[in-house]
Amino acid sequence: MCGIVGYIGEKAADSVLLVGLERLEYRGYDSAGIAVIENGELEIRKRAGKLKILNEYLREYPVTANIGIGHTRWATHGEPNLENAHPHFDNKKKFAVVHNGIIENYALLKEELIKEGYYFNTETDTEVIPHLLAKYYKGNLEEAVIKVIDRLEGSYALGIISEFHPDKIITVRFGSPLIIGKGKNENFIASDIPALYNLTKSVYYMEDGDVAIITKNDIKFLDSKGNKIKRDEKHIKIEDRGIGKSGYDHYMLKEIMEQPDIINNIISKRLKGNDILFTHLRDLNKEYLAKVSRVIIQAAGTSWHAGLVGKFFIEEFARIHTEVDISSEFRYRNPVIEGDTLLIAISQSGETADTLAGIREAKSKFIKVLSICNNIESTIGRESDAILDIMAGPEIGVASTKAYIAQLVSLLLFAIYFGRLKWTLDEEKIGNYLKELTLLPDKIKSILDKKDKIKKIAEKYSNANNVIFLGRSYNFPTAFEGALKLKEISYIHATGYQAGEFKHGPIALIDENVPVVCIATKEDIYPKMISNIQEVKARKGIIISIATEGDTEIKNYSDEVIYLPKTIDILSPLLNVIPLQLLAYYIAVKRGCDVDQPRNLAKSVTVE
Ligand code: AGP
């Protein structure tokens, strides 16, 4: 999604802004720009493409200023070109604005402004904002901003500067995240923590409807009507794990390789013997959870796949009926939810607009919400009744890997914790599951040690145009996740199916050019999976099997076999996804794709 930064202080604003934008590159973008006030004049520098192009342009056309705002744009309205890049400004170039979100009523506003004589240079929704500022400005910038936001519908995080007020930045937050960093004789704004982390550890998390007036020595907050409000200063706790590739070629590979440590970290923080410890369950105390009779999980993308696995965990260990919804569907289906329903929202970023909307829908029906999140200070984290921090550290690669594994481990521990409250689990069985969980990091390490073999297989099939992933039972979500990983970073069309469903139509896709990745580790459904593999083989499909060490039978039906250590059936998704992550990674690298920032994608989709 778009990235916003801002600076006011004594340093060179352009340098601070560019470093901040670089730290937000992981969010995905297609153009970038900054606006500064130099000698009382508004100066704009923006370019299509990556930040290095803007950097080169600034070397040619430098600016000298101590106040500015910057933006990386992920196009929603209008092509990803120079004109549509932010910042946007009014016809007299007195106001500059950067925006993350969507102004849903921009067309009406644009029509009104054109009738009043304002002319537009871009196709963006954002451009209505500087023209509205010019329309309502009567000498007081804050008052003008309040009048403008009263006209806006949709979601917006805004950074605003004006030539009339070279000593302040105004920020607004409604629906898209914005954080203010507090420094010594300097202050900052950013869409996300990584852009601030090397500058300050003191921050303010803006809430929806907040307006902030930021000078170099002061930060004031107003509500959307202009009344003074207070926001608490917070200290950034996250470990600076996500910044820097630690010698790997890409963040994604680094994050894949981090997964054993991530699981060990969760175990060290959440398991004391066989006791499971959660710290932010707040209102979701044991008495409340003991009364829950139904669970709805809602999430998007990879997090939705984690939810599909989570359903197996909760129904197996707590014997509670669990439904799994895609967030963008859940929020509009007027779900039947009663008082004893628990909503679980899964979101790595904690800013996904659809998932946030789902939470608000549930809360409007007085349903308690547990969020499983990688950022407890995120909007989703702060609007939930309880949070389960997956503790994966900042995930920079757009394609989610370590967060997925951390979500699965967190869901597993929650399901066992929940099952204990429901008295549906015997302690011996729990002990076996938790013991096996502690063995998974080493088992994952043994799979990662095979990465060169997996790389060879990946490169062999990197020219495929279509790839199918098949899985059954606990691993049909794994098949979905493997397909998403491949398509989102290699741009190959890939689809995951429940293997039993494949013969009901999709098998028509098979011919000698289609690799089919079959998750056929030794679980109860293994014989059924072998039948599905044979059905594909009979139609000349290329079979890449994910199998259990020691299984020699599967070789008879496979073109390639990737062997994994044995584990308990229901925990196998935690192992089976690892080779699929590596297959996707190496195929994308072989195809020369931008692995960490794939085209068209954003790390956090904060618009509908
Ligand atoms: C995962 O690889 C994708 N980048 C994407 O599907 C992601 O999982 C989805 O947008 C949900 O994001 P969230 O977990 O931050 O809510």
* Minimal-distance CA residue to ligand 1 atom 4: 399
> Can you tell me the distance from the alpha carbon of 377 to that of 374, in angstroms, rounded to the nearest whole number?
9
Helix-strand-coil split of the chain, %, nearest 5: 40, 25, 35
Most confident range (mean pLDDT) of 88-97, 167-176, 335-344, 426-435 is: 88-97
Q: Is 247 left (phi over 0), alpha (psi -120 to 50) or beta?
A: left
Long-range CB pairs of 137-140, under 8 A, 24+ apart, other chains included = 137/94, 137/95, 137/162, 137/164, 139/164
Angle between the 301-317 and 402-421 helix axes, to the nearest 10 degrees? 30
Distance (Å, rounded) from C-alpha 525 to C-alpha 14?
59
- C-alpha of residue 193 to centroid of ligand 1, in Å: 18
Closest-lying ligand 1 atom to the alpha carbon of residue 300: 11
Identify the band that residue 238 occupies on the pLDDT scale cut at 50, 70 and 90: low
Which positions are catalytic? 2, 603
Residue 28 has pLDDT above 90, yes or no: no
Report pTM: 0.77
Ligand 1: which atom is nearest the Cα of residue 488? 2
Tokens of 336: 């039947």
What are the structure tokens assigned to 363, written together?
A: 């809360």
Looking at residue 42, its pLDDT comes to: 97
How confident is the model at residue 1, as a pLDDT? 67
pLDDT band at 241 (very low <50, low <70, confident <90, very high): very low
Instruction: Take residue 227 and report the two structure tokens written for it.
Output: 């009344």
Q: Where residue 377 falls among pLDDT bands split at 50, 70, 90?
A: confident
Which pLDDT does position 240 carry in this prediction?
A: 46
Question: Among 10-14, 193-197, 369-373, 590-594, where is mean pLDDT lowest?
Answer: 193-197
Structure token pair of residue 219: 């930060």
Strand partners, 272: 275
For residues 148 and 101, the answer to whether their CB atoms sit within 8 Å is no
Two structure tokens written together for 186: 């300097």
Tell me how far apart the alpha carbons of residues 337 and 365 are, in angstroms, rounded to a whole number: 8
Res. 352: pLDDT tops 80: yes
State residue 494's pLDDT score.
98
Across the range 167-187, mean pLDDT stands at 94
Stretch 585-597: mean pLDDT: 95
- When the pLDDT of each residue in the chain is averaged and rounded to a whole number, the result is 93
Q: Are strands 154-162 and 88-89 parallel, antiparallel or unpaired?
A: unpaired
Polymer length in residues for the chain: 608
Query: Closest ligand 1 atom, CA of 301?
Result: 6
Contact 202, 182 (CB under 8 A): yes
What is the CA(600)–ligand 1 centre distance, in A?
Answer: 13
User: Is the beta carbon of 300 within 6 A of some atom in ligand 1?
Assistant: yes
To 10 degrees, what angle do helices 476-490 and 572-590 make? Answer: 20
100/346: higher pLDDT: 346
CA distances from 238 to 191, 371, 385, 495 (A): 16, 18, 21, 35
- Count how many Cα atoms sit within 13 Å of the Cα of residue 607 in the half-sphere of its side chain: 23
| Per-residue model confidence (pLDDT) at position 489 | 97
Residues 498-516, mean pLDDT to the nearest whole number: 93
pLDDT attached to residue 37: 98
The pLDDT tens digits of the residues spanning 297-350 come to 999 999 999 999 999 999 999 999 999 999 999 989 988 888 799 999 999 999
> Ligand 1 centroid to 8 CA: how many Å?
33
Burial letters for 553-578: b for 16+ Cβ neighbours within 10 Å, e otherwise? Answer: ebeebbbbbbbbbbbbbbbbbbbbbb
DSSP letter, residue 191: S
The whole-angstrom separation of Cα 491 and Cα 399 is 12
Q: pLDDT tens for residues 508-551? A: 999 999 999 999 998 888 999 999 999 999 999 999 999 999 99
**Mean pLDDT: which of 197-211, 272-286, 424-438, 484-498 is highest?**
484-498
Element spanning 441, H or E: helix 427-448
Is 349's C-beta closer than 6 angstroms to any atom of ligand 1? Answer: yes
- What is the rounded CA–CA span in Å between residue 116 and residue 113? 5
Contact in structure between 283 and 294 (CB atoms under 8 Å)? no
| pLDDT band per the 50, 70, 90 thresholds, residue 237 | low
Average pLDDT value for residue range 281-294:
89
Quick one: how far is CA 267 from the chain centroid?
Answer: 23
14-23, 244-253, 307-316, 585-594: segment of lowest average pLDDT: 244-253
